[in-house]
Structure 1
Amino acid sequence: MEPSSLSRPNLSSMRAFSFTIYGTMVLVSTYFPLFYAKLGFSNSQIGVLYALGPMISLIANLLWSIASDKYRTVKKIMCILLIGQIIMSYILSISTSFSMIMLIITIFYFFFYPVFPLSDTIAINAAKQHGKSFITIRIFGSIGYAFFALVIGYVLSVIGASRTMWVTMAIAGIALLITMFIQDQSSPVAKMNMSGIWSILRQKELLWFFGCVFCLAISARMNDAFLTITLKDLGAGENVIGWAQLASSCSEIPIFLFLSIYGDRFKELPLLIFASLVFATRFLLVSLTGSAYAIIAIQLMHSLSFGIFYVTAIRMLTRLIPDEFRATGMALFTIAWSSASGLLSGTLGGIVFEQFGRQRFYLIAMTFALIACIGFATRYFHRDPAIRARKSIGSSKKG
């Protein structure tokens, strides 16, 4: 009786928490660049501020996971992180110089990025404890992202982009309140197995996979960093920007559900080839259009690009990497998809956008997606010598 009595409130709290924290993700990825632009920063400066996040996340995730392991608590660490976000948001709200904001946003990212892996840790443990699927909790993050993308856009269109940090404080405060109702979990975030890195790097197929992921990630992160700036340049208000983010986040939900049920019926590499082609098509269309409303429609392709890629890539990783090195492989995937690519696309992307304009910027993003597509396709059509040998042996036995 006790587990069932705890199940509903804890899972409900986790769903509410997942829903809420993705509101801060919307702010950081979508509306922080508008806040920087409102302060008069150039596109290259905005690119630098964006690139700081992925760089800091490498250090922050490691340090806070060590703290979580040492003190055997996730909930208390989460509270510290959210309080840190609130304090740093307030300091950002009263800062105006680029050097000061670069310093404060670095500290903000230190408290911001670890929230998501810690949240996944609690959610996975809670789902297992109560015999539920992790997707039944995680999908509320996608719903929350869609909700806040629209609501925040309308709120900022009324109160102004200069009030972005006050909205950040409000959402982080709500998340902090919800945290009080979550059962603590002593399980730490999975650590990177250093001995497993060499074992992984010796696998040619994995190296090929990570290389393709990195190229595709550069194009995706370029879009993430400068989509809002692009929309603003095309005359879009905060509410239109919200609709663009709503379109992408809502579109991924049915794809996630479909592939989680039927994904095993399709081979991985053809799906990755298709997703890369859709990414390239997206960025080509953005480079050609001159309408902010057309970009909203283009954002619906997020389901067939990111949605298919993400589910399929995770599935391929679980197949290629042994269980004992799974955490290491996931850490390397995160570095390729989020951290290293975000650092490169933010710094260099800002310079490209400022010097060459939106059209060339997105054509370059399209090129990286095509390189990834060619890489996946080459791997798919390339027949490994060992596979050919096994087939020839099989044929000879039949003869």
Structure 2
Amino acid sequence: MKSTPSVRPELPWLRAFTFTIFGTSVLVSSYFPLFYAGLGFSNSQIGLLYALGPMISLVANLLWSVASDKYRTIKKIMLILLIGQMIMSAVLSVSTKFSVIILVITIFYFFFYPVFPLSDTIAINAAKRHKKNFITVRIFGSIGYAFYALFIGYVLSLIGSSRTMWVAIGIAAIALAITLFIKDQDSPVAKMDMSGIWGILKQKELLWFFGCVFSLAIAVRMNDAFLTVTLNDLGATEKIIGWAQLASSLSEIPIFLLLSLYGEKIKELPLLVFASLMFATRFLLVGVADSAYSLIAIQLLHSLSFGVFYVTSIRMLTRLIPDHYRATGMALYTIVWSSASGLLSGTFGGVVFEQFGRHNFYLVAMSFALLACLGFASRYFYPGPRLRVQAADRGGVQPTKAQTASSASAEEETLSN
């Protein structure tokens, strides 16, 4: 279908929206921990607050997905989510007690996490109508993350980290205004095919893959939760923290492009072994770093660790799982990589950081990464039988291409940085 002049602006508005919402992602992942630290919370308390997000995302994504499907609207739900974020950010800005913040941040996460899969879905459908590649919209999320990583750092260096929540309100307000110009769509977000879970979990090779991913995910989520705290302990200002996040977000772009062009020429397992080893090296260097500026340089390893891992793991997952179980497999992958690992690493990691210090904390993270490296390597040198799908398991519902792409792109947001 050809684009008419009346609908031509649709993609630019979606690009602007995608660019903007990743500003809140920067705040949640990088600057919320500093806000908590400024309130005097301990590292174990910060870890618990971080762990709440992945746990709430499981429930929130499901409920808002059902609501989107039932009422056949994405735009109206997006407006509700952004207004909810603004209200909860305002409440957080005046809250100081841990018991109050743990309640309010839980509600905030309920409005925060579903924005990304919903925005991916509406962008996928729009790109398909205009015969464009979805990545032409999604790439603006990566650009937005890089921009806001630096911009927010400079802003907070001027106004102070105590006003972090007011920045969150401002970004959500901009996204809310842009949403008014986005065309609504009634396509539901991708759902987990419950009938296919058992068929997937019976595959030993896939269980091994998820086990390796889970081990690596614990290490990665430990770093995510306490990187900004580490930078702060080393005397980093908000500006330096912004540069560190900028370095990691920009470094992944060339790797994504290279692997999209030439990645198929290399088998998945060697790449996964390499990526896990790079993660282990990265965490070891962070643990022994003695200055904030050295951490900026170490962040460049994000390209060789996360960049290689993300593209390769998704590629391998699509080969391990039959097409009619694809949406289910991607949902399980999200749980393993983001939700379950985030819950465990936030609570467990906070205690380790507080009781044993930064150096030992990152040694533990390095150990989990090395365990994943050994797991991938063992499968490479001692391959087992290839994945087989029983005929009886082929009763699952075939997901649409949009559903599959939505699951993958939503997972990319969760993983990024």
Paired residues in the alignment total 387
Hey, what does 1:24 align to over in structure 2? Answer: 24
Kindly state the Cα deviation for residue 7 of structure 1 after the two structures are TM-superposed: 5.4
Kindly state the Cα deviation for residue 37 of structure 1 after the two structures are TM-superposed: 0.6
Q: Is the 8 A contact 2:193 2:327 kept in 1?
A: yes
Q: Secondary structure at the match of 2:153?
A: helix
Hey, what does 1:210 align to over in structure 2? Answer: 210
Q: TM-score, normalised by structure 2?
A: 0.91
**Aligned partners of 2:277 and 2:243: how far apart in 1?**
24
Hey, what does 1:35 align to over in structure 2? Answer: 35
**Aligned partners of 1:54 and 1:381: how far apart in 2?**
34
Q: Which of the pair has more CA radius of gyration?
A: 1
Matching of residue 146 in structure 1 with residue 146 in structure 2: yes
Give runs of aligned pairs for residues 244-393 of structure 1, distance below 5 A.
244-384=244-384
**Aligned partners of 2:245 and 2:15: how far apart in 1?**
21
Kindly state the Cα deviation for residue 203 of structure 1 after the two structures are TM-superposed: 0.9
Hey, what does 1:134 align to over in structure 2? Answer: 134
Q: Tell me whether 128-137 or 156-165 shows the greater mean CA deviation.
A: 128-137
Kindly state the Cα deviation for residue 64 of structure 1 after the two structures are TM-superposed: 0.2
Q: Is the 8 A contact 1:139 1:253 kept in 2?
A: no
Matching of residue 225 in structure 1 with residue 225 in structure 2: yes
Q: Is the 8 A contact 2:21 2:172 kept in 1?
A: yes
Q: Secondary structure at the match of 2:37?
A: helix
Please give the per-residue CA displacement for 1:370-389, whole angstroms capped at 9, x wherever unaligned.
000111111111133579xx
Amino acid at match of 2:255: I
Q: Is the 8 A contact 1:154 1:242 kept in 2?
A: yes
Q: TM-score, normalised by structure 1?
A: 0.95
Q: Tell me whether 176-185 or 230-239 shows the greater mean CA deviation.
A: 176-185
Kindly state the Cα deviation for residue 5 of structure 1 after the two structures are TM-superposed: 2.5
Matching of residue 166 in structure 1 with residue 166 in structure 2: yes
Hey, what does 1:94 align to over in structure 2? Answer: 94
Give runs of aligned pairs for residues 60-71 of structure 1, distance below 5 A.
60-71=60-71
Hey, what does 1:85 align to over in structure 2? Answer: 85
Q: Is the 8 A contact 2:205 2:384 kept in 1?
A: no
Hey, what does 1:5 align to over in structure 2? Answer: 5
Kindly state the Cα deviation for residue 128 of structure 1 after the two structures are TM-superposed: 1.4
Amino acid at match of 1:50: Y
Hey, what does 2:240 align to over in structure 1? Answer: 240
Kindly state the Cα deviation for residue 85 of structure 1 after the two structures are TM-superposed: 0.1
**Aligned partners of 1:199 and 1:237: how far apart in 2?**
50
**Aligned partners of 2:76 and 2:386: how far apart in 1?**
51
Q: Quick one: structure 1 residues 10 and 385, their matched pair in 2 at CA, closer, same or farther if it must change by over 3 Å?
A: closer
**Aligned partners of 1:268 and 1:46: how far apart in 2?**
36
Q: Is the 8 A contact 1:252 1:307 kept in 2?
A: yes
Hey, what does 1:119 align to over in structure 2? Answer: 119
Please give the per-residue CA displacement for 1:91-148, whole angstroms capped at 9, x wherever unaligned.
0001110000000000000000000111111111112111111111111111100100
Hey, what does 1:394 align to over in structure 2? Answer: none
Hey, what does 1:48 align to over in structure 2? Answer: 48
**Aligned partners of 1:122 and 1:386: how far apart in 2?**
36
**Aligned partners of 1:241 and 1:384: how far apart in 2?**
44
**Aligned partners of 2:300 and 2:169: how far apart in 1?**
30
**Aligned partners of 2:64 and 2:262: how far apart in 1?**
36
**Aligned partners of 2:379 and 2:204: how far apart in 1?**
10
**Aligned partners of 2:324 and 2:101: how far apart in 1?**
41
**Aligned partners of 2:385 and 2:310: how far apart in 1?**
29
Q: Runs of 5+ in structure 1 lacking a partner?
A: 388-399
Q: Is the 8 A contact 1:273 1:376 kept in 2?
A: yes
**Aligned partners of 1:263 and 1:136: how far apart in 2?**
20
**Aligned partners of 1:386 and 1:120: how far apart in 2?**
33
**Aligned partners of 2:251 and 2:209: how far apart in 1?**
26
**Aligned partners of 2:333 and 2:282: how far apart in 1?**
23
Q: Is the 8 A contact 1:7 1:130 kept in 2?
A: no
**Aligned partners of 2:383 and 2:216: how far apart in 1?**
23
Q: RMSD in angstroms over aligned alpha carbons?
A: 1.2
Q: Runs of 5+ in structure 2 lacking a partner?
A: 388-417
Amino acid at match of 2:319: R
**Aligned partners of 1:23 and 1:260: how far apart in 2?**
26
Please give the per-residue CA displacement for 1:306-329, whole angstroms capped at 9, x wherever unaligned.
111111111111111112111110
**Aligned partners of 1:5 and 1:278: how far apart in 2?**
48
**Aligned partners of 2:87 and 2:378: how far apart in 1?**
49
Kindly state the Cα deviation for residue 262 of structure 1 after the two structures are TM-superposed: 2.0
**Aligned partners of 1:82 and 1:246: how far apart in 2?**
25
Kindly state the Cα deviation for residue 261 of structure 1 after the two structures are TM-superposed: 2.2
**Aligned partners of 2:198 and 2:37: how far apart in 1?**
43
Please give the per-residue CA displacement for 1:156-189, whole angstroms capped at 9, x wherever unaligned.
0000000000000000000111111111121111
Hey, what does 1:14 align to over in structure 2? Answer: 14
Q: Tell me whether 46-55 or 121-130 shows the greater mean CA deviation.
A: 121-130
Kindly state the Cα deviation for residue 10 of structure 1 after the two structures are TM-superposed: 1.1
Kindly state the Cα deviation for residue 297 of structure 1 after the two structures are TM-superposed: 0.3
**Aligned partners of 1:318 and 1:380: how far apart in 2?**
18
Q: Is the 8 A contact 2:149 2:246 kept in 1?
A: yes
Q: Is the 8 A contact 1:73 1:184 kept in 2?
A: yes
Please give the per-residue CA displacement for 1:341-366, whole angstroms capped at 9, x wherever unaligned.
00001001000000000000001000
Determine what percentage of the aligned residue pairs are the same residue.
77
